[in-house]
Chain A
């Protein structure tokens, strides 16, 4: 922990010029002005590296896969040098008791100073027996490590919302970590997986400024999650113009029109895909001609289908969304009213036997 980020990077052969480039990229990525480039550089030159304990619960490792593919040419080196990744059972050389000993070591040496990064979530059913790490339920490890953490980062939709293992009926009772670590502030970085630059950006921010970035109502960093895919989508002009892909093989699809009608979830999904892109900014789902499936939103697995922009609702049979249900209800109301009108015509309420209207027996 005595080494600074900059020292570690130089020792790995990264030039100062490249280091400053990285600082510029990060400042831009964090929506900061050019003046902050030097703040970031100074912080990385002077501050010791952050010890990070990266725990894995119920997950698919797609967050790790995304993270180690940080697109900026230097990012892999920079990020892995910026933090002192002291425990990550997927990436570390040590295994077994040695690996587990690293956790105790860091917790004793740096209480209140290390970052806990959580990929995946704990299943709570059967006392947490559906996910065992080091011979104990993962939820116990999570609670133990969180107790002395400076901050807790929830990587991905699993840790943030529950994701696929928490989809109905959620047999293992997989639970997002903020519901387990109720007395810790948890910063959510949802996505399945989250964008690599978003993950590195958050780590850079915490390293450089020594605090968590501004969070929105849901606990997501505002700099990456304050706008919908739809708001910055390059196909938004087609949406506003009324130009849509009606079918996957039609003229609109070839021309790259808006995918709203084939179920794009861009209008209901907060993420930075349409600005940052994936794989070194090469593309993102909509740019590749497929609608957004809303993977960074809560319970997106249960808000299907992926190819309709209105969800199906439970309890109304197959393929019933709000509009089909509403249409049936309105039809029933119309039919009810018509039947009532016919009955009214037959029964003639308000008219007594043999009485004509307007009556002549007025009592006035």
Chain B
């Protein structure tokens, strides 16, 4: 394993080979817990919005919607709590752990690589560039869709949770202000639905780009989030 001191922006040299430890254990653990919580949240969220066909019989014999909502809330704690822990880890972890939250907008070479990645994905460039961390296009889309999308979901979800816990509850004090900001409770719901679709669209793009990078790029991608090592090819 080799380590390197890098600048703010982390393009690897054209001839870089070998493996580099980039994603530390907390980042990888969070990534997969987060992936699982998103699947659970989206599935149960859809079931809350469009419930199963009505059950018959005594109400006291069933607790279907109650259980679906319980799973949603547990997953929401993992998602929201995980997001907070992940943010704190960015303060303690290595350079790559900060890329999710910090875009080097002042770095000209970052913008250059962003344009390069856009051209690469439009089949206008023949060679993939190498990056120790995220390529700028991935970093930008993660920030816009995932980080901002997650904040939207945590804020609107927290405010919806506050409706159940009630006036004066911790959730109300923490998130209650969101409701008048966006309009009224119905608008809050609409935004929470839209937020889910923003994150799901991101998930589709994210998985596709990660797998594609593994196949036609010149570095590992999916495996890196499992082992932590970025391995460069020729």
B is a partner of A: yes
Q: Which of B54-75 contact A (CB under 8 A)?
A: 54-56, 59-66, 68-69
CA distance A222 to B126 in the complex (A): 65
Contact A237 B60 (CB under 8 A): yes
CA distance A303 to B189 in the complex (A): 11
Contact A352 B197 (CB under 8 A): no
How many B residues have CB within 8 A of the partner chain? Answer: 60
Say which residue of A257, A330, A349 sits within 8 Å of B197 (CB atoms).
A330
* CB neighbours of B56 from chain A (8 A): 243, 251-252, 255
Contact A310 B218 (CB under 8 A): no
- Which of A7-15, A116-124, A336-344 forms contacts with chain B? A336-344
Contact A265 B218 (CB under 8 A): no
CA distance A346 to B17 in the complex (A): 27
Contact A334 B204 (CB under 8 A): yes
Given contacts A218-B180, A228-B185, A252-B54, 15 further A-B contacts (CB under 8 A): A226-B166, A240-B69, A242-B52, A294-B186, A299-B184, A303-B186, A311-B190, A322-B191, A322-B194, A333-B205, A340-B121, A344-B123, A347-B123, A348-B216, A351-B216
B201 within 8 A of A: yes
Q: Which 10 A-B pairs have the closest CB atoms?
A: A326-B197, A242-B64, A322-B193, A268-B185, A241-B62, A226-B167, A240-B66, A298-B184, A241-B59, A237-B59
B127 within 8 A of A: yes
List the interface of chain A (C-beta within 8 A of B): 216-218, 222, 226-228, 231, 237-246, 251-252, 255, 257, 260-261, 265, 267-270, 294, 297-300, 303, 309-311, 313, 321-323, 325-327, 329-330, 333-334, 337, 340-341, 343-344, 347-352, 358-359, 361-364
Q: How far is the CB of B101 from chain A (nearest CB, A)?
A: 24
Say which residue of A245, A255, A350 sits within 8 Å of B127 (CB atoms).
A350
B51 within 8 A of A: yes
Say which residue of B163, B164, B201, B212 sits within 8 Å of A333 (CB atoms).
B201
* CB neighbours of A237 from chain B (8 A): 59-60
Q: How far is the CB of A159 from chain B (nearest CB, A)?
A: 16
Contact B194 A340 (CB under 8 A): no
Q: A338 — nearest CB in chain B belongs to which residue?
A: B208
- Contact A326/B193 with A257-B54, A350-B216 known, Cβ cut-off 8 Å: yes
Q: List, sorted by A's number, 9 A–B pairs whose CB atoms are closer than 8 Å.
A: A241-B61, A242-B62, A243-B59, A261-B51, A298-B183, A303-B186, A325-B197, A330-B201, A363-B234
Q: How far is the CB of B167 from chain A (nearest CB, A)?
A: 4
* CB neighbours of B180 from chain A (8 A): 217-218
CA distance A351 to B215 in the complex (A): 11
Say which residue of A228, A241, A358 sits within 8 Å of B233 (CB atoms).
A358
B contacts with A: majority SS: helix
CA distance A351 to B218 in the complex (A): 10
Q: How far is the CB of A279 from chain B (nearest CB, A)?
A: 26
Say which residue of B163, B184, B193, B205 sits within 8 Å of A310 (CB atoms).
B193
Q: How far is the CB of B93 from chain A (nearest CB, A)?
A: 30
Contact A216 B167 (CB under 8 A): yes
Q: Output the residue of A244, A270, A349 with the most chain B CB within 10 A.
A: A349
Contact B204 A337 (CB under 8 A): yes
- Contact A269/B185 with A237-B60, A261-B51 known, Cβ cut-off 8 Å: yes
* CB neighbours of B91 from chain A (8 A): none
Say which residue of A227, A239, A255 sits within 8 Å of B65 (CB atoms).
A239
CA distance A349 to B196 in the complex (A): 33
* CB neighbours of B164 from chain A (8 A): 231
B8 within 8 A of A: no
Q: How far is the CB of B141 from chain A (nearest CB, A)?
A: 12
CA distance A313 to B66 in the complex (A): 29
Q: Output the residue of B59, B191, B233 with the most chain A CB within 10 A.
A: B59
CA distance A101 to B155 in the complex (A): 52
Contact B62 A243 (CB under 8 A): yes
CA distance A119 to B54 in the complex (A): 42
Q: B207 — nearest CB in chain A belongs to which residue?
A: A337
* CB neighbours of B185 from chain A (8 A): 228, 267-270, 297
CA distance A252 to B188 in the complex (A): 29
Say which residue of B125, B166, B194, B212 sits within 8 Å of A326 (CB atoms).
B194
CA distance A362 to B232 in the complex (A): 12
B15 within 8 A of A: yes
Q: How far is the CB of B117 from chain A (nearest CB, A)?
A: 12
Q: How far is the CB of B182 from chain A (nearest CB, A)?
A: 11
* CB neighbours of A358 from chain B (8 A): 233-234
Q: How far is the CB of A167 from chain B (nearest CB, A)?
A: 14
Q: Which of B141-186 contact A (CB under 8 A)?
A: 163-164, 166-167, 176-177, 179-180, 183-186
- Contact A297/B186 with A325-B194, A352-B126 known, Cβ cut-off 8 Å: yes
CA distance A245 to B125 in the complex (A): 57
CA distance A244 to B126 in the complex (A): 57
Q: B47 — nearest CB in chain A belongs to which residue?
A: A242
Contact A329 B197 (CB under 8 A): yes
Q: How far is the CB of A213 from chain B (nearest CB, A)?
A: 13
* CB neighbours of B179 from chain A (8 A): 217
* CB neighbours of A216 from chain B (8 A): 167
Q: How far is the CB of A158 from chain B (nearest CB, A)?
A: 16
Q: B177 — nearest CB in chain A belongs to which residue?
A: A217
* CB neighbours of B62 from chain A (8 A): 241-243
Contact B15 A321 (CB under 8 A): no
